[in-house]
Chain A
Amino acid sequence: MGFSNHIIGFAAVLGAAAIVAGTFGFREIPGQQFGSAFFPRITAGALALTGLALIVTSPGGPHVSLPTWVRTVERLRAAAIPIAGLLWVLAAPMFGFLLTTFVMIFALSMIAGGRLLTSLGVAAGVSAVLHVIFSSVLRIPLPFGVIERWVL
């Protein structure tokens, strides 16, 4: 999803204003000229100038342009990645690492055009290998759930 330089520049100026507004609550340190707000304000000033420069130096054109795949079924496959990640965050604490990761890999593989049996094999194998590496070898407390309770 492409935005025109005018929109990007405008977003930068708005972002800079938001940064400055966010620094108003920062407390001053007695006896010091440069408190916590000093550097973020410099960053915000530079951001606003860059945004303005983008607006001034860029020629006019369409404000938003969409890649060709957005108009086709590919958009669902592209959206599948962040959606799968979000669902993993919500489901993993309830259902555990193994089941959630297995379902996620299997679903993504099928969405991307994989074959049923191969996708099942890849999902099962990779979830198990990742669990062994991170949970058993590196001792990371991965989310515990139904399968872990049954297998371990």
Chain B
Amino acid sequence: MSVFLEALRLVLEPEVLLTVLGASLLGLTIGAIPGLTAVMGVALLIPITFFMDPVPAIAAIASLAAMAIFAGDIPGALLRIPGTPASAAYVQDSHAMARAGRPERALGLSLVSASIGGVIGVMLLMLAAPLLARFATNFSSVEYFWLALLGLSCAAIISTGAPLKGILSLLFGLWIASIGIDEVAGQPRFTFGVTELMGGISFIPAMIGMFALPELIRNMTLRSAPSEPPRMGPVFDGLFRNIKRRWANVMRGSLTGSMIGALPGAGADIAAWVAYAIAKRRSKTPEKFGKGHDEGIVEAGAANNGALSSAWVPTMVFGIPGDSITAIVIGVLYLKGLEPGPVIFTKTPELVYAIFIAFLLANLILIPLGWLVIRLARNLLRIPPAYYLPVVFACCIVGSFAINNTTFGVIVMLIFGLIGWLFEENGIPVAPAILGIVLGGMLEFNFVTSMLKSDGHLWIFFSRPVAAFLALTVAIVWLWPLVKHIRASR
């Protein structure tokens, strides 16, 4: 109990509350502007969190992500342009509802279901993470190797349309992770005599480049805001009656999202699509889906934020990111000298609980702040890209510069931005490459350590029950596309 009170005290510091408020407003703005995604917002926030204490830094990321994921529904409903990929699953319904003259109903339902989904996801995080952490204290390098491989495999194979291109992206990330001095042998690898590469490719500029630059380049080809958003009525009129009517959908969506989010490598995007598909399958009126029906909006909206919260379970417990945002979080935790994993629960439990509370707070203040941004949405959507795109690019530059105070970070950002753009133009997903960069070091370290322990015998990877189970799970993930292909060809 004293740990919980200490965590509460940490979160209720005015500095933390102000940071949460500022990050929330930034997240709502970024999510509401088409083309600016939640991951890009988090990437741009990192250089600032670099200078904060751990609790406000993580609280800022959690708040920004929760707000941006919801706010992505706003341009989706009003302009049929999903603000974030997670909003794409139900954009047809929310836009149809807005075109029928009820945009406030679509957005109100999204808002409340996102908040409930987020709170349920946090509850799962609070319950599951400490239990799993206690279990994970017995893990050795073998289990950590399989966990890292499982996270990377899910990101490359399950979460992408074309598994081969997902694997390609992942392997590119793993190679990038090997650049710099090898910790074990002290051997510089792929540095080409460049001193700045001795410490490896700086993760933050690479990530800012890969996530932000492709969006900026793509958006620069648009001339102005696409169309005039419709007028908005009162958001809360009849809202809670509608939510009560769809309570089963809210709960199912929250639980589906929370469970999918907790899988390493899966994220809010997949959770939203799966929840939408379940809602359609279980509905008594599936023919209404895609034509402005509220079941899909509520269920997938709840799943979005549920997944966002529970993605922190593998992140905090095993140091394996649940999605792209938590991949960034792992980088931040390392920068703050906090190694994610079961030890963090025993070493600094107050910090872990402070992060949970900050997450809960972000999902609760989502309702008033979300209401505010819905009211201002028409004005936000009228800002021409000609003004905000150069500003976002300037933020990318200064953020990349700030990491090492050199223009080398900016060069890294530009190079990775162009690589990210080429990836996206060719249907190669960017997220597996980022996960590869984050987890590459851990994967190599645990693999080599295990091989050294066993004197080069591979049986060590299957010698313990948990390791064997994880190996089987990885095998299933890798065989899944093959099974799907065989079933489809019959």
Interface positions of A (Cβ within 8 A of B): 1-3, 8, 12, 15, 19, 22-23, 26-27, 29, 32-36, 38-40, 43-44, 46-47, 50-51, 53-54, 57, 67, 69, 74-75, 77-78, 80-82, 84-86, 88-89, 92-93, 97, 101, 104-106, 108-114, 118-119, 122-123, 126-127, 130, 133-134, 138-143
Contacts and interface: CB of A to CB of B under 8 A. Distances in A.
A114 B384 contact: yes
B168 A51 contact: yes
Contact of B189 (A40, A51, A133): A40
A22 B7 CA distance: 49
Nearest to A139: B51
A34 B444 CA distance: 11
Interface stretch (B81-89, B331-339, B386-394): B386-394
A34 B220 CA distance: 48
Contact of B389 (A40, A92, A112): A112
A46 B413 CA distance: 26
A78 B221 contact: yes
Contacts of A3: 426
B426 A109 contact: no
B395 A67 contact: no
Contacts of B395: 130
A3 B384 CA distance: 32
B185 A27 contact: yes
B166 to A, nearest CB: 10
A43 B175 contact: yes
A46 to B, nearest CB: 6
Contacts of B410: 85, 88-89
A134 B401 CA distance: 10
Contact of B171 (A38, A50, A78): A50
A138 B456 contact: no
A92 B165 CA distance: 38
B452 A101 contact: no
Contact of B220 (A8, A50, A78): A78
Contact of B386 (A12, A51, A109): A109
A84 B187 contact: no
A112 B220 contact: yes
Contacts of B184: 29, 36
A89 B387 contact: no
B360 to A, nearest CB: 28
A60 B444 CA distance: 37
B398 interface: yes
B418 interface: yes
Interface of A (DSSP majority class): helix
A19 B223 contact: no
Contacts of B167: 46, 50
Contacts of B447: 39
Contacts of B171: 12, 43, 46-47, 50
A27 B187 contact: yes
> Which of B165, B395, B448 is most buried by chain A, counting CB atoms within 10 A of its CB?
B448
B216 interface: yes
A1 B216 CA distance: 15
26 contacts: A1-B422, A2-B425, A2-B427, A19-B190, A33-B456, A35-B185, A40-B175, A46-B167, A50-B164, A74-B220, A78-B218, A81-B216, A85-B393, A88-B410, A104-B393, A105-B393, A108-B389, A112-B384, A112-B390, A126-B390, A126-B394, A130-B395, A140-B401, A140-B402, A141-B405, A142-B398
Nearest to A35: B185
A-B pairs with lowest CB-CB distance, top 4: A114-B386, A108-B390, A112-B386, A36-B187
Contacts of A122: 387, 390-391
Contacts of A39: 178, 444, 447-448
A130 to B, nearest CB: 5
A53 B72 CA distance: 37
B387 to A, nearest CB: 5
Interface in B393-410: 393-395, 397-398, 401-402, 405, 407, 410
Interface string B174-207: 1100100010110101100000000000000000
Interface string B16-45: 000000000000000000000000000000
A92 B277 CA distance: 51
B151 to A, nearest CB: 16
B183 to A, nearest CB: 10
Contacts of B455: 33
B76 interface: no
Contact of B223 (A36, A57, A113): A113
B137 interface: no
Contacts of B185: 26-27, 29, 32, 35-36
A109 B393 contact: no
